[in-house]
Amino acid sequence: AQTVTQSQPEMSVQEAETVTLSCTYDTSESDYYLFWYKQPPSRQMILVIRQEAYKQQNATENRFSVNFQKAAKSFSLKISDSQLGDAAMYFCALPWAGSYQLTFGKGTKLSVIP
């Protein structure tokens, strides 16, 4: 069975600083995608970034980047130059093998301190 673990229920960061959110997972697949979703107070789920497992290069989207360690099954999200609008729940997600269904982590609540 697939698992996704986010070991940090809550994190905080000073505005303009950098923060890293952790995610580990387990899958028997060799090729897969990984996602980070953001859920702000509005509760709209927003895709932040995705990573293809067969790509060695870490994905980057503006201030958001990942540190993908396939052998360690680790997929952390780094947010640089944190902004007040980054305050949200962040969920790490892994698709089921051969399916579109997602396994979500329990989430990390990020607070940004002005």
Partner 1 sequence: GAVVSQHPSRVICKSGTSVKIECRSLDFQATTMFWYRQFPKQSLMLMATSNEGSKATYEQGVEKDKFLINHASLTLSTLTVTSAHPEDSSFYICSAIDRTSVAYEQYFGPGTRLTVT
Residues that bind partner 1 (CB under 8 A): 33, 35, 37, 42-47, 50, 52, 91, 95, 100-102, 104-107, 109
Running DSSP on this structure, what letter comes out for residue 44? -
Tokens (6 digits) for 38: 């953001």
Q: Which is nearer to partner 1, 48 or 112 (CB)?
A: 48
Is the CB of 40 or the CB of 81 nearer to partner 1?
40
Torsion angle of the four alpha carbons 20, 26, 30, 36, in this order, in degrees rounded to the nearest 10: -40
Residue 16 C-beta: closest distance to partner 1, Å? 27
Give 11 or 45: the residue with its C-beta nearer to partner 1.
Answer: 45
16 Ramachandran zone, left/alpha/beta (phi>0; psi -120 to 50): left
The residue (of 16 and 58) whose beta carbon lies closer to partner 1 is 58
Q: Are 101 and 86 in contact (CB under 8 A)?
A: no
Tokens standing for residue 3: 């698992």
Minimum Å gap between C-beta 60 and partner 1 is: 16
